[in-house]
Amino acid sequence: MQRRKILLVVLTGVLLLSVLTFGAPEGKETPEDFLRLHVRAHSDAPFDQFLKYQVRDAVLTVLADHLAAADNLQAAGAKVDQSLPEVLLAAQQVVRQAGYDYPVRASLGEADFPTRLYGGQVYRAGRYQALQIYLGEGLGKNWWCVLFPPLCFVGVASEKAIPQPGQATPPPPRSRLIEWWRQLRD
């Protein structure tokens, strides 16, 4: 019995080390499977970061109805392209209502993204189709999500699901090995 426990601990350690060394498994999807939304704040000043979230909310409100009927990436891209003037106007209105006069730019095209974890999925670094919105100089921290498939809209109605200014933290790291180990113990 003692040998089994020692063997189990050693195997668990080896598996844990391999998970930590090689990282989380990446999805099979490629950058060609996603359309992203990328909002970059004017600066890292607290109010510019707060404004970024307000713009995000306005843009998602505009896009929700347009993207509801999109069943593939091409249709989603076409819907976003068609609604680009409406998206830009919504973002500009948020900035103006906040009392700022810096420019707002919105464009749809390819953009480089680093590897990120979002909603429990690893999105590999690469060039993705993206709706990019730059507020002012666009030198502040950014916020992004996946417009298609529609991961940005999951839980949008819930205040807890929407990152608030100062609370936008990545999800806690998960380990399938640790979850498996806990299930064995229970």
Report, as an integer, the average pLDDT of 161-186: 56
Confidence of residue 56 (pLDDT cuts 50, 70, 90): very high
The whole-angstrom separation of Cα 120 and Cα 172 is 9
pTM: 0.65
The whole-angstrom separation of Cα 117 and Cα 120 is 6
Report, as an integer, the average pLDDT of 162-175: 46
- Choose between 60 and 157: higher pLDDT: 60
Report, as an integer, the average pLDDT of 154-171: 41
CB count within 10 Å of CB 168 equals 13
> Would you say residue 5 has pLDDT above 70?
no
The whole-angstrom separation of Cα 29 and Cα 23 is 17
**One-letter amino acid identity for 20?**
L
The whole-angstrom separation of Cα 45 and Cα 139 is 10
> Would you say residue 135 has pLDDT above 80?
yes
User: What pLDDT, on the 0 to 100 scale, is given for residue 150?
Assistant: 77
The whole-angstrom separation of Cα 186 and Cα 181 is 9
Domain boundaries, the chain: 31-148
Confidence of residue 66 (pLDDT cuts 50, 70, 90): confident
User: What pLDDT, on the 0 to 100 scale, is given for residue 132?
Assistant: 95
Range list of β-strands (E), 11-141:
35-40, 104-113, 116-118, 121-123, 126-135
pLDDT in tens, 10-36: 445 444 434 333 443 444 556 567 889
Pull the structure tokens for residue 49. 């970061």
pLDDT in tens, 80-125: 999 999 999 999 999 999 999 999 999 999 988 888 887 777 888 8
